[in-house]
Structure 1
Protein backbone atom coordinates (compact mmCIF):
# COMPACT_ATOMS: atom_id res chain seq x y z
CA UNK A 1 0.00 0.00 0.00
CA UNK A 2 2.80 2.44 0.87
CA UNK A 3 4.47 1.93 -2.51
CA UNK A 4 1.17 2.68 -4.23
CA UNK A 5 0.71 5.89 -2.25
CA UNK A 6 4.32 6.84 -2.94
CA UNK A 7 3.94 6.14 -6.68
CA UNK A 8 0.72 8.15 -6.75
CA UNK A 9 2.45 11.09 -5.02
CA UNK A 10 5.31 10.97 -7.55
CA UNK A 11 2.80 10.94 -10.41
CA UNK A 12 0.90 13.91 -8.95
CA UNK A 13 4.15 15.83 -8.40
CA UNK A 14 5.35 15.09 -11.95
CA UNK A 15 2.03 16.22 -13.37
CA UNK A 16 2.11 19.43 -11.32
CA UNK A 17 5.71 20.18 -12.34
CA UNK A 18 4.95 19.55 -16.02
CA UNK A 19 1.82 21.73 -15.92
CA UNK A 20 3.60 24.60 -14.17
CA UNK A 21 6.55 24.39 -16.56
CA UNK A 22 4.29 24.31 -19.61
CA UNK A 23 2.32 27.35 -18.45
CA UNK A 24 5.63 29.16 -17.88
CA UNK A 25 6.88 28.27 -21.36
CA UNK A 26 3.60 29.41 -22.88
CA UNK A 27 4.27 32.88 -21.47
CA UNK A 28 7.03 33.18 -24.06
CA UNK A 29 5.93 31.17 -27.09
CA UNK A 30 3.08 29.29 -28.77
CA UNK A 31 2.29 25.68 -27.89
CA UNK A 32 3.41 24.47 -31.33
CA UNK A 33 6.95 25.77 -30.71
CA UNK A 34 7.43 23.96 -27.40
CA UNK A 35 9.14 20.57 -27.46
CA UNK A 36 8.80 17.79 -24.89
CA UNK A 37 12.55 17.94 -24.19
CA UNK A 38 12.29 21.63 -23.36
CA UNK A 39 9.30 20.99 -21.10
CA UNK A 40 10.83 18.13 -19.11
CA UNK A 41 14.07 20.07 -18.67
CA UNK A 42 12.13 23.05 -17.32
CA UNK A 43 9.98 20.81 -15.11
CA UNK A 44 12.95 18.86 -13.77
CA UNK A 45 11.43 15.49 -14.64
CA UNK A 46 12.34 12.74 -17.08
CA UNK A 47 10.85 12.15 -20.51
CA UNK A 48 9.55 8.89 -19.06
CA UNK A 49 7.63 10.87 -16.43
CA UNK A 50 6.07 12.93 -19.19
CA UNK A 51 5.06 9.93 -21.31
CA UNK A 52 3.85 7.99 -18.29
CA UNK A 53 1.30 10.76 -17.71
CA UNK A 54 0.63 12.31 -21.15
CA UNK A 55 0.80 11.58 -24.85
CA UNK A 56 1.07 15.18 -26.06
CA UNK A 57 1.63 18.68 -24.72
CA UNK A 58 -2.02 19.41 -25.43
CA UNK A 59 -2.91 16.61 -22.99
CA UNK A 60 -1.13 18.53 -20.21
CA UNK A 61 -3.39 21.51 -20.89
CA UNK A 62 -6.50 19.34 -21.10
CA UNK A 63 -5.65 17.83 -17.72
CA UNK A 64 -5.19 21.33 -16.30
CA UNK A 65 -8.40 22.89 -17.65
CA UNK A 66 -10.79 19.91 -17.63
CA UNK A 67 -11.46 19.50 -13.88
CA UNK A 68 -11.86 23.24 -13.38
CA UNK A 69 -14.32 23.59 -16.23
CA UNK A 70 -16.19 20.45 -15.21
CA UNK A 71 -16.68 21.87 -11.70
CA UNK A 72 -18.29 24.99 -13.17
CA UNK A 73 -20.66 22.96 -15.31
CA UNK A 74 -21.46 20.70 -12.37
CA UNK A 75 -22.85 23.81 -10.64
CA UNK A 76 -25.17 24.39 -13.58
CA UNK A 77 -26.16 20.74 -13.96
CA UNK A 78 -26.93 20.26 -10.28
CA UNK A 79 -28.72 23.63 -10.23
CA UNK A 80 -26.60 25.23 -7.54
CA UNK A 81 -28.28 28.49 -6.43
CA UNK A 82 -27.18 31.54 -8.45
CA UNK A 83 -25.16 33.26 -5.67
CA UNK A 84 -23.02 30.15 -5.14
CA UNK A 85 -22.73 29.53 -8.89
CA UNK A 86 -21.65 33.13 -9.51
CA UNK A 87 -19.15 32.86 -6.66
CA UNK A 88 -17.64 29.76 -8.27
CA UNK A 89 -17.55 31.54 -11.64
CA UNK A 90 -15.81 34.51 -10.05
CA UNK A 91 -13.21 32.20 -8.55
CA UNK A 92 -12.78 30.36 -11.86
CA UNK A 93 -12.14 33.54 -13.83
CA UNK A 94 -9.86 34.92 -11.10
CA UNK A 95 -7.77 31.75 -11.15
CA UNK A 96 -8.00 30.97 -14.85
CA UNK A 97 -8.39 34.37 -16.53
CA UNK A 98 -4.72 34.74 -17.41
CA UNK A 99 -4.45 31.17 -18.71
CA UNK A 100 -7.57 31.72 -20.84
CA UNK A 101 -6.10 34.93 -22.29
CA UNK A 102 -2.90 33.03 -22.96
CA UNK A 103 -4.87 30.28 -24.74
CA UNK A 104 -5.98 32.79 -27.35
CA UNK A 105 -2.56 34.42 -27.61
CA UNK A 106 -0.51 31.19 -27.76
CA UNK A 107 -2.76 29.17 -30.06
CA UNK A 108 -4.21 26.56 -27.75
CA UNK A 109 -7.68 28.02 -27.41
CA UNK A 110 -9.03 25.03 -29.35
CA UNK A 111 -8.36 22.91 -26.25
CA UNK A 112 -10.38 25.21 -24.00
CA UNK A 113 -13.16 25.47 -26.58
CA UNK A 114 -13.39 21.69 -26.97
CA UNK A 115 -13.60 21.16 -23.20
CA UNK A 116 -16.29 23.82 -23.04
CA UNK A 117 -18.21 22.15 -25.88
CA UNK A 118 -17.91 18.73 -24.22
CA UNK A 119 -19.38 20.14 -21.02
CA UNK A 120 -22.16 21.90 -22.95
CA UNK A 121 -23.06 18.56 -24.52
CA UNK A 122 -23.12 16.99 -21.06
CA UNK A 123 -25.38 19.79 -19.78
CA UNK A 124 -27.78 19.94 -22.73
CA UNK A 125 -28.19 16.19 -22.93
CA UNK A 126 -29.87 16.52 -19.55
CA UNK A 127 -31.89 19.64 -20.39
CA UNK A 128 -32.83 19.39 -24.06
CA UNK A 129 -35.68 21.59 -25.24
CA UNK A 130 -39.03 19.89 -25.74
CA UNK A 131 -39.07 20.77 -29.45
CA UNK A 132 -35.76 19.06 -30.14
CA UNK A 133 -37.21 15.58 -30.53
CA UNK A 134 -35.12 14.21 -33.37
CA UNK A 135 -31.44 13.36 -32.96
CA UNK A 136 -30.28 15.73 -35.72
CA UNK A 137 -32.11 18.66 -34.17
CA UNK A 138 -30.64 17.85 -30.76
CA UNK A 139 -27.10 17.54 -32.07
CA UNK A 140 -27.23 20.79 -34.01
CA UNK A 141 -29.01 22.70 -31.27
CA UNK A 142 -26.37 21.66 -28.74
CA UNK A 143 -23.57 22.73 -31.10
CA UNK A 144 -25.35 26.02 -31.83
CA UNK A 145 -25.79 26.84 -28.15
CA UNK A 146 -22.28 25.70 -27.26
CA UNK A 147 -20.65 27.89 -29.92
CA UNK A 148 -22.81 30.87 -29.01
CA UNK A 149 -22.31 30.67 -25.26
CA UNK A 150 -18.57 30.12 -25.71
CA UNK A 151 -18.36 33.13 -28.03
CA UNK A 152 -20.14 35.31 -25.47
CA UNK A 153 -17.83 34.30 -22.61
CA UNK A 154 -14.79 34.64 -24.86
CA UNK A 155 -15.75 38.14 -25.99
CA UNK A 156 -16.49 39.16 -22.42
CA UNK A 157 -13.16 37.90 -21.12
CA UNK A 158 -10.96 39.15 -23.97
CA UNK A 159 -12.59 42.59 -24.05
CA UNK A 160 -11.82 43.24 -20.40
CA UNK A 161 -14.77 41.67 -18.52
CA UNK A 162 -16.48 45.05 -18.18
CA UNK A 163 -19.92 43.66 -17.34
CA UNK A 164 -20.49 41.86 -14.07
CA UNK A 165 -20.76 38.09 -13.98
CA UNK A 166 -24.38 38.53 -12.92
CA UNK A 167 -25.09 40.64 -16.02
CA UNK A 168 -23.43 38.05 -18.25
CA UNK A 169 -25.30 35.21 -16.57
CA UNK A 170 -28.60 37.03 -17.12
CA UNK A 171 -27.76 37.79 -20.77
CA UNK A 172 -26.94 34.17 -21.55
CA UNK A 173 -30.13 33.07 -19.78
CA UNK A 174 -32.22 35.49 -21.87
CA UNK A 175 -30.64 34.31 -25.11
CA UNK A 176 -31.13 30.68 -24.18
CA UNK A 177 -34.79 31.23 -23.25
CA UNK A 178 -35.40 33.11 -26.51
CA UNK A 179 -33.85 30.27 -28.51
CA UNK A 180 -35.89 27.69 -26.62
CA UNK A 181 -39.06 29.68 -27.26
CA UNK A 182 -38.44 29.59 -31.02
CA UNK A 183 -37.83 25.83 -30.95
CA UNK A 184 -40.94 25.21 -28.88
CA UNK A 185 -42.98 27.44 -31.23
CA UNK A 186 -41.77 25.43 -34.22
CA UNK A 187 -42.64 22.19 -32.42
CA UNK A 188 -46.21 23.42 -31.84
CA UNK A 189 -46.74 24.04 -35.57
Structure 2
Protein backbone atom coordinates (compact mmCIF):
# COMPACT_ATOMS: atom_id res chain seq x y z
CA UNK A 1 0.00 0.00 0.00
CA UNK A 2 1.48 3.39 -0.93
CA UNK A 3 2.39 5.74 1.86
CA UNK A 4 1.10 9.33 2.07
CA UNK A 5 3.11 11.70 -0.05
CA UNK A 6 4.45 9.06 -2.43
CA UNK A 7 4.26 10.60 -5.94
CA UNK A 8 4.54 7.24 -7.72
CA UNK A 9 3.12 4.71 -5.29
CA UNK A 10 4.78 1.37 -4.56
CA UNK A 11 4.78 0.05 -8.13
CA UNK A 12 8.47 0.73 -8.74
CA UNK A 13 9.61 -1.15 -11.85
CA UNK A 14 6.45 -3.23 -12.25
CA UNK A 15 5.23 -3.95 -15.76
CA UNK A 16 1.77 -4.66 -14.38
CA UNK A 17 0.13 -4.15 -11.00
CA UNK A 18 -1.52 -7.31 -9.64
CA UNK A 19 -5.26 -6.99 -9.12
CA UNK A 20 -6.06 -10.51 -7.95
CA UNK A 21 -4.99 -11.89 -4.59
CA UNK A 22 -3.23 -14.86 -6.15
CA UNK A 23 -1.20 -12.59 -8.42
CA UNK A 24 -0.32 -10.27 -5.53
CA UNK A 25 0.85 -13.25 -3.46
CA UNK A 26 3.01 -14.44 -6.35
CA UNK A 27 4.57 -11.00 -6.67
CA UNK A 28 5.30 -10.97 -2.94
CA UNK A 29 7.02 -14.37 -3.22
CA UNK A 30 9.15 -13.11 -6.10
CA UNK A 31 10.25 -10.03 -4.14
CA UNK A 32 10.92 -12.12 -1.05
CA UNK A 33 13.07 -14.45 -3.13
CA UNK A 34 14.87 -11.50 -4.71
CA UNK A 35 15.71 -10.14 -1.25
CA UNK A 36 17.15 -13.45 -0.06
CA UNK A 37 19.14 -13.92 -3.26
CA UNK A 38 20.63 -10.47 -2.79
CA UNK A 39 21.82 -11.46 0.68
CA UNK A 40 23.45 -14.60 -0.68
CA UNK A 41 24.93 -13.62 -4.04
CA UNK A 42 24.84 -9.80 -4.26
CA UNK A 43 23.43 -7.57 -6.97
CA UNK A 44 25.92 -8.35 -9.74
CA UNK A 45 25.26 -12.11 -9.59
CA UNK A 46 21.52 -11.78 -9.06
CA UNK A 47 19.52 -13.46 -11.83
CA UNK A 48 15.82 -13.57 -12.64
CA UNK A 49 16.08 -17.33 -13.21
CA UNK A 50 17.47 -17.95 -9.73
CA UNK A 51 14.78 -15.74 -8.21
CA UNK A 52 12.06 -17.64 -10.08
CA UNK A 53 13.44 -20.98 -8.86
CA UNK A 54 13.63 -19.76 -5.28
CA UNK A 55 10.12 -18.33 -5.42
CA UNK A 56 8.78 -21.56 -6.92
CA UNK A 57 7.28 -19.82 -9.95
CA UNK A 58 7.86 -20.15 -13.72
CA UNK A 59 10.41 -17.71 -15.17
CA UNK A 60 7.57 -16.28 -17.25
CA UNK A 61 5.88 -15.13 -14.05
CA UNK A 62 8.91 -13.02 -13.21
CA UNK A 63 8.94 -11.44 -16.66
CA UNK A 64 5.22 -10.83 -16.45
CA UNK A 65 6.00 -8.37 -13.66
CA UNK A 66 9.55 -7.24 -14.48
CA UNK A 67 11.60 -6.56 -17.60
CA UNK A 68 14.92 -7.40 -15.92
CA UNK A 69 16.66 -7.74 -12.56
CA UNK A 70 17.06 -3.98 -12.22
CA UNK A 71 13.29 -3.48 -12.43
CA UNK A 72 12.78 -6.28 -9.93
CA UNK A 73 15.29 -4.78 -7.51
CA UNK A 74 13.73 -1.35 -7.95
CA UNK A 75 10.35 -2.78 -6.95
CA UNK A 76 11.94 -4.36 -3.88
CA UNK A 77 13.45 -0.99 -2.97
CA UNK A 78 10.04 0.68 -3.25
CA UNK A 79 8.53 -2.01 -1.04
CA UNK A 80 11.32 -1.44 1.47
CA UNK A 81 10.62 2.29 1.47
CA UNK A 82 6.90 1.74 2.01
CA UNK A 83 7.60 -0.69 4.84
CA UNK A 84 10.04 1.73 6.44
CA UNK A 85 7.63 4.68 6.26
CA UNK A 86 4.74 2.64 7.67
CA UNK A 87 6.93 1.45 10.54
CA UNK A 88 8.13 4.98 11.23
CA UNK A 89 4.60 6.40 11.03
CA UNK A 90 3.38 3.82 13.54
CA UNK A 91 6.17 4.75 15.95
CA UNK A 92 5.61 8.47 15.50
CA UNK A 93 1.90 7.96 16.17
CA UNK A 94 2.50 6.39 19.59
CA UNK A 95 1.43 8.65 22.50
CA UNK A 96 4.79 8.22 24.22
CA UNK A 97 6.69 9.57 21.21
CA UNK A 98 7.64 13.23 21.42
CA UNK A 99 6.04 15.71 19.07
CA UNK A 100 9.14 17.52 17.80
CA UNK A 101 11.21 16.83 14.71
CA UNK A 102 14.32 15.92 16.72
CA UNK A 103 12.52 12.96 18.25
CA UNK A 104 11.35 12.01 14.75
CA UNK A 105 14.98 11.95 13.57
CA UNK A 106 15.83 9.45 16.30
CA UNK A 107 12.80 7.30 15.37
CA UNK A 108 13.76 7.27 11.69
CA UNK A 109 17.32 6.21 12.47
CA UNK A 110 16.08 3.53 14.88
CA UNK A 111 13.63 2.08 12.35
CA UNK A 112 16.25 2.13 9.60
CA UNK A 113 18.78 0.29 11.75
CA UNK A 114 16.12 -2.23 12.83
CA UNK A 115 15.38 -3.04 9.19
CA UNK A 116 19.09 -3.18 8.43
CA UNK A 117 19.40 -5.92 11.04
CA UNK A 118 16.33 -7.96 10.16
CA UNK A 119 14.91 -7.31 6.67
CA UNK A 120 16.27 -9.68 3.97
CA UNK A 121 18.10 -7.88 1.18
CA UNK A 122 17.92 -4.54 2.97
CA UNK A 123 21.63 -4.40 3.72
CA UNK A 124 22.35 -4.16 -0.02
CA UNK A 125 19.17 -2.63 -1.43
CA UNK A 126 17.44 -0.38 1.04
CA UNK A 127 15.52 2.30 -0.87
CA UNK A 128 17.24 2.15 -4.24
CA UNK A 129 19.25 0.03 -6.64
CA UNK A 130 22.94 0.04 -5.55
CA UNK A 131 24.62 3.29 -6.57
CA UNK A 132 21.44 5.35 -6.76
CA UNK A 133 20.47 8.25 -4.53
CA UNK A 134 17.85 8.22 -1.79
CA UNK A 135 15.80 11.14 -3.13
CA UNK A 136 12.54 9.16 -2.95
CA UNK A 137 12.90 9.06 0.83
CA UNK A 138 13.73 12.76 1.02
CA UNK A 139 10.65 13.55 -1.08
CA UNK A 140 8.37 11.63 1.26
CA UNK A 141 9.71 12.86 4.59
CA UNK A 142 7.66 16.10 4.76
CA UNK A 143 4.39 14.14 4.62
CA UNK A 144 5.67 11.75 7.27
CA UNK A 145 6.83 14.53 9.60
CA UNK A 146 3.63 16.53 9.15
CA UNK A 147 3.08 18.98 12.01
CA UNK A 148 6.56 18.28 13.34
CA UNK A 149 7.99 20.42 10.54
CA UNK A 150 8.85 23.90 11.76
CA UNK A 151 9.41 25.35 8.30
CA UNK A 152 7.36 25.47 5.11
CA UNK A 153 7.38 22.07 3.41
CA UNK A 154 7.58 23.85 0.03
CA UNK A 155 10.77 25.73 0.99
CA UNK A 156 13.51 24.60 -1.43
CA UNK A 157 16.06 24.97 1.38
CA UNK A 158 14.22 22.28 3.32
CA UNK A 159 14.14 19.98 0.29
CA UNK A 160 17.90 20.35 -0.17
CA UNK A 161 18.54 19.85 3.54
CA UNK A 162 16.50 16.65 3.58
CA UNK A 163 18.37 15.26 0.56
CA UNK A 164 21.72 16.07 2.19
CA UNK A 165 20.56 14.63 5.53
CA UNK A 166 19.35 11.38 3.97
CA UNK A 167 22.53 10.89 1.96
CA UNK A 168 24.68 11.73 5.00
CA UNK A 169 22.74 9.33 7.21
CA UNK A 170 23.07 6.61 4.58
CA UNK A 171 26.85 6.96 4.48
CA UNK A 172 27.21 7.17 8.27
CA UNK A 173 24.99 4.15 8.90
CA UNK A 174 26.83 2.15 6.24
CA UNK A 175 29.92 2.84 8.35
CA UNK A 176 28.10 1.71 11.51
CA UNK A 177 27.27 -1.66 9.96
CA UNK A 178 30.66 -2.03 8.33
CA UNK A 179 32.39 -1.84 11.70
CA UNK A 180 29.89 -4.04 13.60
CA UNK A 181 27.44 -6.67 12.25
CA UNK A 182 24.54 -5.29 14.32
CA UNK A 183 25.56 -1.66 13.84
CA UNK A 184 28.08 0.17 16.02
CA UNK A 185 25.93 1.96 18.65
CA UNK A 186 28.49 4.76 18.94
CA UNK A 187 28.32 5.54 15.23
CA UNK A 188 24.51 5.34 15.30
CA UNK A 189 24.39 7.80 18.21
CA UNK A 190 26.79 10.15 16.40
CA UNK A 191 24.62 9.93 13.28
CA UNK A 192 21.56 11.07 15.23
CA UNK A 193 23.50 13.95 16.74
CA UNK A 194 24.86 14.97 13.34
CA UNK A 195 21.39 14.96 11.75
CA UNK A 196 19.80 16.95 14.56
CA UNK A 197 22.57 19.56 14.40
CA UNK A 198 22.46 19.88 10.62
CA UNK A 199 18.67 19.98 10.24
CA UNK A 200 18.60 22.54 13.03
CA UNK A 201 20.06 25.00 10.52
CA UNK A 202 16.76 25.02 8.62
CA UNK A 203 14.31 24.00 11.35
CA UNK A 204 14.07 25.78 14.69
| TM-based fold match above 0.5 | yes
Cα deviation for residue 121 of structure 1 reads 4.9
Partner of 2:62: 50
The answer (yes or no) to whether the contact 1:69–1:116 under 8 Å persists in 2 is no
Between the two proteins, the alignment pairs up a number of residues equal to: 170
Give secondary structure in 2 for the equivalent of 1:99. coil
The C-alpha deviation readout for 1:12-63, integer Å capped at 9, x for no partner, is 3312321233234324433244333343233222344324444522234225
How many Å separate the matches in 2 of 1:51 and 1:121?
35
Find the counterpart in structure 1 of residue 53 from structure 2: 41
Q: Is the 8 A contact 2:52 2:62 kept in 1?
A: yes
Aligned twin of 1:146: 166
Kindly indicate whether the alpha-carbon contact (under 8 Å) linking 2:150 and 2:203 is maintained by their aligned counterparts in 1: yes
Aligned to 2:123: 101
TM-score using structure 2 length: 0.58
Taking a change above 3 Å as real, the CA distance of residues 78 and 52 of structure 1, as seen in their structure-2 partners, is farther
Q: Name which one, 1 or 2, has greater alpha-carbon Rg.
A: 1
Unaligned runs of 5+ in 2: 1-18, 99-106
Summarize deviations over 1:50-83 as a string: whole Å, max 9, x none.
2444452223422541332112331465466349
Residue 179 (structure 1) aligns with: 198
* More helix per residue: 1
TM-score (norm 1): 0.62
Structure 1 gaps, min length 5 = 1-6
Contact kept in structure 1, 2:138 and 2:163, CA below 8 Å: yes
